[in-house]
Amino acid sequence: MTDQTVLVPSVEWLRDARRARLLSVVTLLWLGAESVLGIAAGLGAHSVALIGWGTSALVEAAASLIVVWRFTGSRTGSAHAEERARKAVAVSFWLLAPYLVLHVAHDLDAGHRPLPSLLGIAVTATSAIGMPFLGVAKRRLAIRLRSAATAGEGTQNLMCALLATGVLAGLALNTAGWWWVDPAMAVLLAAVAVREGFRAWHGHSCRH
Annotated domain spans of the chain: 11-207
Q: What is the pLDDT of residues 83-118, one digit of tens each?
A: 898 888 888 888 878 877 887 787 777 676 656 678
Q: Which residues contact 138 (CB under 8 A, 6 or more apart)?
A: 20, 23, 24, 150, 151, 153, 154, 157
What secondary structure, in 3-state letters, does the chain show? Answer: CCCCCECCCCHHHHHHHHHHHHHHHHHHHHHHHHHHHHHHHHHHHCCHHHHHHHHHHHHHHHHHHHHHHHCCHHHHHEHHHHHHHHHHHHHHHHHHHHHHHHHHHHHHHHCCCCCCCHHHHHHHHHHHHHHHHHHHHHHHHHHHHCCHHHHHHHHHHHHHHHHHHHHHHHHHHHHHCCCCHHHHHHHHHHHHHHHHHHHHHCCCHHHC
Confidence check: pLDDT of 133 > 90: yes
pLDDT (tens digit per residue) in 39-78: 888 777 766 667 777 877 887 888 899 999 999 988 988 8
CATH class of 11-207: mainly alpha
The pLDDT tens digits of the residues spanning 13-37 come to 999 999 999 999 999 999 999 989 9
Q: Please state, for a pLDDT cut of 70, what percent of the chain lies above it.
A: 85
Residues in the chain: 208
pLDDT confidence of residue 186 = 73
Q: Are 70 and 85 in contact (CB under 8 A)?
A: yes
Q: Is the pLDDT of residue 180 over 80?
A: no
Q: Which of 196, 198, 182 is nearest to 60 (CA)?
A: 196
Q: Could you tell me if 84 and 151 are in contact, meaning their C-beta atoms sit under 8 angstroms apart? A: no
